[in-house]
């Protein structure tokens, strides 16, 4: 199982620490500390607060409970803390879409520049669409190729 820091680095992908921390709403040094798992200056292990994990889960569109489990606040009943393959695929795709939207210039909605709130709404709608498409696509996969997890 990946540590919280490794998992966050994977979700962040190629996005810079500054961009990611700005989107989450925390300082880039704090995000760096969380990803490393310890404070460079003091050498102490750092555990983000549940409130910070909530901000991270909203920014990366991932499960809050999974972050809480990886941070050690919750214990998973079946000890399976990894996200399902579908959830990882969705999280990766949403991170790519978020990066594309944040790096695009001149985005307009009804002739007006697209606000950050409009971008978030668009991403939420796109996530819903991706989840629905994955669910509907599974109907057409022969049973012998379907995983038991689903």
pLDDT of residue 146: 59
CATH (one of 1.20.120.10, 3.80.10.10, 1.10.260.40, 3.40.190.10) for 4-71: 1.10.260.40
- pLDDT tier for residue 59 given thresholds of 50, 70 and 90: very high
Q: Stretch 9-15: mean pLDDT, rounded?
A: 92
Q: Stretch 106-133: mean pLDDT, rounded?
A: 81
- pLDDT tier for residue 12 given thresholds of 50, 70 and 90: very high
% of residues, the chain, pLDDT over 70: 85
Alpha carbons 31 and 132: distance in angstroms, whole number: 32
Mean pLDDT score of the chain, rounded to an integer? 80
- pLDDT tier for residue 25 given thresholds of 50, 70 and 90: very high
Higher per-residue confidence, 12 vs 107: 12
Higher per-residue confidence, 143 vs 107: 107
């Amino acid at each position: 199982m990946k540590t919280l820091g490794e998992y966050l680095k994977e979700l962040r992908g190629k996005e810079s620490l500054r961009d990611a921390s700005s989107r989450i709403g925390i300082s880039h040094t704090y995000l760096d500390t969380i990803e490393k798992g310890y404070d460079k200056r003091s050498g102490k292990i750092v555990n983000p607060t549940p409130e910070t994990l909530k901000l991270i889960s909203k920014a990366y569109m991932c499960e809050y409970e999974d972050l809480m489990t990886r941070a050690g606040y919750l214990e998973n009943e079946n000890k399976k803390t990894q996200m399902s393959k579908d959830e990882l695929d969705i999280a990766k795709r949403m991170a790519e879409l978020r990066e594309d939207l944040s790096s695009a210039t001149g985005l307009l909605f009804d002739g007006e520049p697209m606000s950050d709130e409009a971008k978030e709404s668009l991403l939420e709608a796109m996530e819903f669409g991706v989840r629905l498409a994955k669910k509907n696509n599974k109907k057409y996969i022969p049973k012998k190729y379907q995983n038991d997890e689903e």
